[in-house]
Every structure is written in C-alpha cells, then in structure tokens.
Amino acid sequence: MKMISLAAGVLLLSGLSASAATDKAVVTLNDSPFATDTIMPEIYGQFAEHLGTCIYGGLWVGPESPIPNTNGYRNDVLNALRELKVPVMRWPGGCFADEYHWMDGVGPKENRPRMVNNNWGGTVEDNSFGTHEFFNLCELLGCEPYLSGNVGSGTVEELAKWVEYITAEDGPMATLRKQNGREKPWHLKYLGVGNESWGCGGDMLAPYYADLFRRYGVYCRNYDGNKLFKIASGASDYDYDWTETLMKKAGHQMHGISLHYYTCYSWDKPKGYALDFTTDQYYWTIGKCLEIEDVVKRHAAIMDVYDPGKRVALLVDEWGTWWDEEPGTIKGHLYQQNTMRDAMVAALSLNVFHKFTDRVRMTNIAQVANVLQSMVLTKGDQMVLTPTYYVFKMYVPHQGARVIPCHIESKKMKAENERGSKPRTFQTVSATASEKNGVVTLSLTNVDLDNDCEVKVELGSLGVKKVNGEILTAKNIADYNDFGKPELVSPEAFSGAKLNGNILTVKMPAKSIVNLTLTK
C-alpha cells in the first residue's frame, strides 16, 4: 500500500552503477589521545508509557497471573531487558504523564481510583501499576528511573510532594510512603518537568512554559543527598524557536532539555504500515531517520549560544519509527510490528547519537514493549524479540565506551523530502566505533537493498590482532519475528571480515548490520 507519493524515486549520486554486484566504501578510524568523549550508557534508554499494552501485559501481569512472573513483572521480559543492560527507563509518559495524578497509584490496589486514558484509546486505567511498581521495576533491572512529572493538569504542590514521597528520609510524604510498604527512599536522578508542553502537555507557548519550568524547579527539591537532574520539556523535530526561548529564559535553571523526533510519514495523514511499504518508502525512511543528525546539530548550535560550556544536556527522550496500528488492533494503542527496516533505523540513529556525546547524554526509544518501535512484543504468555531488540543487544559494548571518530566514504543516494524540494542525501554505509578496556567495537550498516559492499577499514595505530563479528540481516527488508514461528531476523556469526596489518576488509551483504569486536 503506497501512502506517500515518491515520484522522483531514489537516485544514485555517485559514478557507481545501481546494478553493480558489489559497491566499495572506506571507513577511517581516527583514534588519538584527544578522542576522550564517552558514549553515555543512557543513550540506550527505554521508555514505558501507560499506552496500549506496554505496561499491562507487556511489563506487568500482576503477582496472581499464571504467566511466570516475579512479584507481578513478566519473567521473560525481565530477562530480555537485563540482556540489554537497560541504563534508564522513562515513565509514566508521554502524553499520559500530564493527566497522571500520582496519588491515584499508591496505597492498596483495591482502593486506587480508576481513570479514562483519554490520550490513548479511551481505555480504563486501574492504576494498579504506580510509583512503587515502577521504582521496584527499575531496581530489578538495575536502571535509573526517569520520572515525567505532570505539569499540564497538575500543580506545583503535587509534583513537589511526589519528589518528597520518593526521595525523603522523613516528613509527611515519607511517612505515607512507609505506610504503603517502602521504608527507605528510592534514588531519583532524572526528573522531567512536563512532556510535550507545546502540545498534549498543555498546548503552551514557549515563554509561558519557560516561566512554569522555573517555578516548578524551585519547589522540586533535593532531599537527603538525592540530587535531581531537572529536564525541561523541549521541542518537537524542527521547532528551533522553542529551544532558543527556553535556553534564553530558563537555561541556567535546567540540567537538560528534551527533543522528540520520530521517523514517520505524516502526523495528519496515514503513516503506512510496518509490514507494507515500497522500495521508495524504505529509502524515504532512511533519509528521514538520518535527518536527525542535522536536527540535533541545529538544536545544539542554539544551546551553544546560551551554554557554551555544554553544561545542559540534550535528551532525545522520544525517538523511533511510528507507523499506523496493525490492522485488527485497538485504535490508539499504537501496536506495530517491527521489521528489518526498523532495525536499520535503530542502528543508524544510534550511530548518529554517538557523534554528539558532548550534548546528547540520553535518548529513549519509544517504546519498550508492544508500542511503536518496541524491544519486545507479547501476547498472553508468549514473547517475541524484535529486530530492534537485537540491534540494542549488539550495541551493548558501546555503552560507556570511548568514542573513536570515523570518516566514511561510500556511495550516496537521495530520497524525496516532503518538507521541501531539496532531496535528502545519505551515504549507503554508516559506521560507529568505540573502545573500552582495550577492546574496540566497530558497527557498520549497509542500507542498500540490492548491492553488497566491500568496506575497507583503515585501523591506523590501533594495533588490532583479532576480529570477531556478528551480522543482522534478512532475506527481505520487510521480514519480522512473529509468535509461534521461527525467528526470521536474529544475529548470526559473521566471517566476512579479514585483517591484513592495519587494514580490515569487511564484505557486507545488502541490507545488513555488522558488529565487529577488535582485540589487540
């Protein structure tokens, strides 16, 4: 089904023929003593919103469920997420956050009031998963909690008391927490002051929200050694004026500012389906995904004017693909399948984020389970690992590693840009490299659907003696993993990398992601 006109199609911008069996590319690793930037583990953050079956059925089934669980949390999902070494989890939204009143989600479950989830399908929320359940989940996963506070329909007092409830040793809110079964306070570092305040979080103007952020920041206090990292609700995509206004009026009061960027066709028209797309639509997706590099650059440049010391972090706390709900699923629950195309978007996006470690210190893919570009899909007692899950698993060695800058020369392509006449241009090969404990991880992506690529990697003075690798690819770019069927998309051992001195030759198949471990 073709949801968007791409009459111009996809064009090659080099002398290489589209019918060539094997393209050529060169990747140069520019390691030096001055390459000291670190890929923050939080760049691999997750996002769990009260939306569809992300929480209920995805993460939480309750302790009485016949589905194997630990205190109500699905064992299969817990184990899968532990493999990813999830560093941070954002909750409870998203748009849900600005209609969520935390007092409804504490205390005996039978006494918790129900509410209608007006943003996502009008389903009834019973509040059985609340503050205690979320923070206990983070402890089980060993990850940092990232709390999105209610600014849209809440009050300063409400958010201030929530922070006190979570982090204070003593006082009225701590007493209530203890009565509800938690003696010691939790650790809370990341606090989001609202979500999408320009839209579902209150339809505010930037100057008004800037004043609100300053006000909320005063009353959300640090208790008993807990240090809050306060995050302003930042821009969507190309709204550079929002970033400039917030940095100008509230930059000195914030620790971070968010940015949301989705790879999707349109907000007011059909977005197309995850499993049904044309070749042109695939390359459009690649171009749109990679445009996040220019978007991050422009927001970061504005931040540099007001914060040249780069104290304030840029957090891309919602990103990923957004397609129409799968046919036959509940409208507003945003359930979509996940193909090799989505895996490509994940790898390319992470490669971009690695380039901006001076500003981008957290990202949160949307979302962890059963919603948009998820890590896992669940149905009853079954669980499926998505192609995107495997990208995150392959990239685990990059977490906390030192960035090794890369220079890439490969065939270029262009795809239509719906925002103007100038097409998006991109290289068919993407790369990122990092080093930790003497081990170099090199991740390569070939987005070309038809042509293999021989990649010459110039290793410089790294002194590599041994190479091992794995590959993620599929017969068809629309292949995906489904319930009760053998996996079509999962990593396999890769033997197409050959080392000769300080030159590594990698023979990459079309539409593939290769992860190499280089040891000395």
CATH number of the domain residue 508 falls in = 2.60.40.1180
Does residue 225 sit in the same domain as residue 266? yes
| CA–CA separation, 323 and 285 (whole Å) | 11
Q: Is residue 4 in a domain?
A: no
Q: pLDDT (tens digit, 9 = 90+) per residue, 299-329?
A: 999 999 999 999 999 999 999 999 999 999 9
Q: Are 296 and 316 in contact (CB under 8 A)?
A: yes
Task: Report the distance separating Cα 222 and Cα 233, nearest Å.
Answer: 20
Residue 6, domain member (yes or no): no
pLDDT reported for residue 520: 87
| Residue count (the chain) | 520
Residue 441 near residue 517 (C-beta atoms within 8 A): yes
Instruction: For 87-105, write each residue's pLDDT tens digit.
Output: 999 999 999 999 999 999 9
How far apart, in whole angstroms, are the C-alpha atoms of residue 402 and residue 307? Answer: 24
Give whole-number Cα distances, 154 to 23, 99, 495, in Å.
56, 7, 56
Kindly state whether residues 340 and 427 are assigned to the same domain. no
- Which residue type occupies 254? M
Domain assignment present for residue 3? The answer is no
Provide the mean pLDDT of the chain.
94
State both tokens at 262: 């989705």
| Residue-wise DSSP of 122-137 | TPEE---S-HHHHHHH
Query: Is residue 243 exposed (0-12), middle (13-18) or buried (19+ Cβ within 10 Å)?
Result: buried
Strands of the sheet containing 503-508, edge to edge, are 406-409, 22-29, 452-458, 503-508, 497-500
Domain CATH number, residue 71: 3.20.20.80
Q: Tell me which of 351, 380, 401 is where a domain ends.
A: 401
User: pLDDT tier at 21 (50, 70, 90 boundaries)?
Assistant: low
101: which DSSP letter? -
Structure tokens at 191: 């606090």
| CA gap 243, 239 in Å, rounded | 7
461 and 377 assigned to the same domain = no
What global pTM score does this model have? 0.94
- DSSP 3-state of 417: coil
514 and 394 inside one domain: no
Do 388 and 458 have their domain in common? no
Whole-angstrom Cα Rg for the chain: 23
Tell me if 510 sits within 8 A of 451, measured CB to CB.
yes
Backbone angle region of 181, left / alpha / beta, with phi > 0 → left and psi within -120 to 50 → alpha = left
What pLDDT is attached to residue 2? 31
Total structural domains within the chain: 2
Residues 322, 442 within the same domain: no
Query: How do residues 146-190 score in pLDDT, each as one tens digit?
Result: 999 999 999 999 999 999 999 999 999 999 999 999 999 999 999
In a domain, 427, yes or no: yes
Neighbours of 8 (CB within 10 A): 13
Each residue of 191-242: pLDDT tens digit? 999 999 999 999 999 999 999 999 999 999 999 999 999 999 999 999 999 9
**Peptide bond between residue 94 and the one before it cis (omega within 30 degrees of 0):** yes
Structure tokens at 375: 């890590």
How far is 148 from 497, CA to CA, in rounded Å?
A: 44
What percentage of residues in the chain have a pLDDT greater than 90? 91
Residues 330 and 412 in one domain: no
Asked if residue 35 has pLDDT above 50, the reply is yes
Between the CA atoms of 326, 327, 329 and 331, what dihedral angle is there, to the nearest 10 degrees? 90
Report d(CA 323, CA 334) in Å as an integer: 8
| Domain end point (choices 401, 422, 445) | 401
Q: In 291-339, which ranges are continuous DSSP H helix?
A: 292-306
Average pLDDT over residues 255-284: 92
| Strands (E) located in 150-222 | 190-193
Residues 13-21: what's their mean pLDDT?
45
Is residue 169 a contact partner of residue 185, using CB atoms and an 8 Å limit? yes
Of 401, 428, 448, which residue sits at a domain end? 401
- Which amino acid appears at position 398 of this protein? H
What is the span of the domain harbouring residue 463?
11-35+404-519
Checking DSSP bridges between strand 360-366 and strand 313-321, what pairing results, if any? parallel
Burial (0-12, 13-18, 19+ Cβ within 10 Å), 225? exposed
Any domain includes 477: yes
Bridge partners (DSSP) listed for residue 518:
440, 467
- Does residue 467 share a domain with residue 338? no
Question: What does the pLDDT look like over 335-389, one tens digit per residue?
Answer: 999 999 999 999 999 999 999 999 999 999 999 999 999 999 999 999 999 999 9
Do 360 and 425 lie in a common domain? no
For residues 386 and 375, the answer to whether their CB atoms sit within 8 Å is yes
Could you tell me which residues come within 8 angstroms of residue 96 by beta carbon, excluding any fewer than 6 positions away?
A: 49, 50, 51, 117, 119, 120
CB 422 within 8 A of CB 466: no
CA 300 to chain centre: 18
Per the DSSP assignment, residues forming a β-bridge with 382 are 379
User: Is the model's pLDDT at 127 over the cut of 50?
Assistant: yes
Task: Provide the terminal-to-terminal Cα distance of the chain, rounded to the nearest Å.
Answer: 50
Write the pLDDT tens digit of every residue in 428-446: 999 999 999 999 999 999 9
Q: CA 218: distance to chain centroid? A: 29
Q: What's the pLDDT score for residue 5?
A: 33
In a domain, 2, yes or no: no
Indicate if the pLDDT at residue 479 is higher than 90: yes
Same domain? 30 vs 45: no
Instruction: Return the minimum-mean-pLDDT range out of 32-46, 96-110, 446-460.
Output: 32-46
pLDDT value of position 11: 54
Angle at 318 between CA 314 and CA 320, to 5 degrees: 120
Q: Please report whether residue 370 resides in a domain.
A: yes
| 404/442 Cα distance (integer angstroms) | 9
Q: Which residues are catalytic?
A: 196, 318
Question: Are residues 239 and 269 both part of a single domain?
Answer: yes
**Residue 474: other Cβ atoms inside 10 A:** 20
Residue 373 lies in a domain: yes
My answer on whether 415 and 273 are in the same domain is no
Pairing of strands 124-125, 115-116: antiparallel
Residue 55's nearest CA partner among 158, 1, 111, 133 is 133
Q: CA-CA distance, 76 to 346, in Å (whole number)?
A: 22
